[in-house]
């Protein structure tokens, strides 16, 4: 098949959407499909990838995130491209202006569309002190996803939330994790030595965008509570974002490693000891799977990936949303039990070994094939009027 994929984020950008969409695209290409990728023009040209043809459109930098670009409408270019080489099916991963123009063009051409629900922009509005805009954002998301044949979600809980918003076409496509890359084997004593810690010093890890929507205040409060119990504990931050400079100035004793990729990222995960994840704005939270695959126990709120994959008291702990005191107390208690952390980390690693990326790619492929068949059936049952 020729599969169109439209996304406003793509590697080398590091975020859950970019990495998920890239994995789906390369996985489908490896299975022999031709991928027609549409995305905003990157700042620097990257390497061509086998089986993926790219159309670069105009974009503008996202405020506070200059490395992330919003795709501008590109209806004319999409009509010209897809009239020459019509995709069999299209997956639109992002709901911005580029995604909207792709949706309109696909519907005009009668091409079946699946969308991805990756980001809770309504939650972001709350976190950035814009509660008045939440109804507008939710109406936008509802209109966009209701135009698709299917909206792909990583959890059944999110499908239920979308139904409450008025989106009733959700289909489950579970997330996977690269267990060959994220693995306890990458634990690195020399890296820990660079951090100034011994093998017995607990290292708490944060991985992700350093931004307001990630509940950073609770992350800091949790670590400071731990340090009152274990004064030599260290807090390692991997990532970047608009709050990094202020956080680093306020806490110069924290370790800020910046953006990490590939094996370097895997070493940082595996060389830490505990992964408390305080964010409440995630639709899923790929970093939870990466931490578990790396052998770290996780403490997270009972949403997204934590709800789906944490077995409370076995490979981590799920905390009821709205209970920051429980989050802090649970993290501190676990960090004070090194043997318990190791046992739970091993259990998490074992659980992640069952999540095969190849299985997810096959499920995605099957879903797209079924959409093309459903569209063909609909045309046969309800032929277009002349």
> Does 291 share its domain with 236?
yes
- How many Å apart are CA 202 and CA 230, to the nearest integer? 8
Higher pLDDT, 13 or 384: 13
> Does 371 share its domain with 327?
no
Q: What per-residue confidence (pLDDT) applies to 153?
A: 93
Least confident of 44-58, 183-197, 342-356: 44-58
Instruction: Report the candidate in 123, 68, 79, 84 with the shortest Cα–Cα distance to residue 103.
Output: 79
Q: Is the pLDDT of residue 125 over 60?
A: no
> Does 117 share its domain with 161?
yes
Residues of the chain with pLDDT > 70, as a percent, come to 92
Domain extent, residue 244, equals 184-352
Q: What per-residue confidence (pLDDT) applies to 354?
A: 86
Domain count for the chain, please give it.
Answer: 2
Q: What is the pTM of this model?
A: 0.81
33 occurs within a structural domain: yes
Burial class (CB in 10 A: 0-12, 13-18, 19+), 17: buried
> Does 207 share its domain with 341?
yes
**7, 36 contact by CB (below 8 A):** no
pLDDT band at 207 (very low <50, low <70, confident <90, very high): very high
> Does 166 share its domain with 306?
no
- How many Å apart are CA 33 and CA 229, to the nearest integer? 55
67 occurs within a structural domain: yes
Instruction: Report the candidate in 6, 119, 114, 16 with the shortest Cα–Cα distance to residue 54.
Output: 6
Q: What per-residue confidence (pLDDT) applies to 282?
A: 82
> Does 135 share its domain with 213?
no
215 occurs within a structural domain: yes
36 occurs within a structural domain: yes
Phi, psi of 251 (to 5 degrees): -135, 70
Judged by phi (left if over 0) then psi (alpha if -120 to 50, else beta), residue 310 lies in beta
Q: Which two tokens stand for residue 94?
A: 């992002």
> Does 29 share its domain with 161?
yes
Residue with tokens 């989050």: 327
Q: What per-residue confidence (pLDDT) applies to 292?
A: 98
> Does 267 share its domain with 365?
no
Q: Is the pLDDT of residue 386 over 50?
A: no
> Does 135 share its domain with 156?
yes
pLDDT band at 121 (very low <50, low <70, confident <90, very high): low
Report the DSSP pairing between strands 316-319 and 298-301. parallel
Q: What per-residue confidence (pLDDT) applies to 385?
A: 47
CATH of the domain at 203: 3.40.50.2000
The 10s digit of each residue's pLDDT in 268-312 is: 999 999 999 999 888 788 999 999 999 999 999 999 899 999 999
> Does 151 share its domain with 293?
no
Burial class (CB in 10 A: 0-12, 13-18, 19+), 283: buried
323 occurs within a structural domain: yes
Q: What per-residue confidence (pLDDT) applies to 304?
A: 87
pLDDT band at 231 (very low <50, low <70, confident <90, very high): very high
> Does 20 share its domain with 169?
yes
Residue 267 Cα to chain centre, angstroms: 20
Strands annotated E in 75-149: 89-92, 113-116
For the chain, give the number of residues: 386
Mean pLDDT of all residues in the chain?
91
386 occurs within a structural domain: no
- How many Å apart are CA 319 and CA 312, to the nearest integer? 9
Rg of the chain on CA atoms, in Å: 22
Q: Is the pLDDT of residue 204 over 70?
A: yes
For the segment 81-91, the average pLDDT, to the nearest whole number, is 96
- How many Å apart are CA 319 and CA 332, to the nearest integer? 13
> Does 315 share its domain with 264?
yes
Q: Please give the order of strands across the beta sheet that includes 316-319.
A: 275-277, 298-301, 316-319
Q: Is the pLDDT of residue 138 over 80?
A: yes
């Amino acid at each position: 098949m020729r599969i169109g994929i439209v996304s406003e984020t793509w590697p080398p950008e590091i975020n859950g959407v970019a990495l998920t969409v890239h994995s789906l695209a390369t996985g489908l290409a490896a299975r022999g499909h031709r991928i027609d990728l549409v995305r905003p023009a990157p700042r620097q040209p990257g390497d061509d990838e086998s089986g993926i043809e790219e159309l670069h459109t105009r974009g503008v930098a996202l405020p506070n995130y200059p490395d992330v670009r919003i795709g501008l409408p590109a209806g004319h270019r999409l009509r010209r491209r897809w009239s020459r080489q019509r995709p069999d099916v299209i997956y639109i991963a992002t709901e911005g202006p580029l995604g909207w123009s792709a949706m309109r063009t696909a519907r005009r051409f009668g091409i079946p569309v699946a969308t991805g629900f990756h980001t809770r922009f309504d939650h972001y509005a709350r976190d950035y002190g814009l509660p008045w805009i939440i109804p507008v954002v939710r109406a936008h998301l509802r209109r966009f996803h209701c135009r698709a044949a299917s909206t792909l979600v990583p959890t059944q809980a999110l499908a239920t939330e979308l139904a409450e918003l008025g989106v009733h076409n959700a289909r489950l496509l579970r997330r996977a994790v690269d267990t060959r890359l994220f693995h306890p084997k990458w634990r690195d004593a020399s890296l820990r030595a660079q951090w100034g810690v011994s093998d017995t010093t607990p290292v708490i890890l944060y991985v992700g965008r350093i931004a307001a929507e990630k509940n950073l205040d609770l992350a800091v409060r949790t670590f400071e509570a731990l340090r009152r119990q274990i004064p030599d504990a260290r807090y390692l931050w991997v990532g970047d974002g608009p709050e990094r400079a202020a956080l680093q100035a306020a806490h110069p004793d924290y370790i800020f490693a910046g953006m990490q990729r590939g094996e370097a990222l895997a070493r940082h995960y595996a060389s830490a000891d505990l992964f408390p994840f305080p964010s409440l704005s995630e639709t899923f939270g790929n970093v939870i799977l990466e931490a578990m695959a790396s052998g770290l126990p996780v403490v997270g709120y009972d949403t997204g990936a934590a709800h789906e994959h944490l077995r409370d008291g076995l490979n981590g702990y799920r905390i009821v949303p709205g209970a920051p005191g429980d989050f802090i107390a649970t993290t501190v208690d676990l960090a004070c039990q090194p043997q318990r952390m190791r046992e739970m980390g091993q259990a998490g690693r074992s659980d992640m070994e069952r999540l095969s990326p190849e299985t997810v790619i096959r499920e995605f492929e099957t879903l797209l094939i079924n959409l093309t068949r459903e569209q063909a059936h609909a045309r046969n049952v309800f032929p277009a009027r002349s």
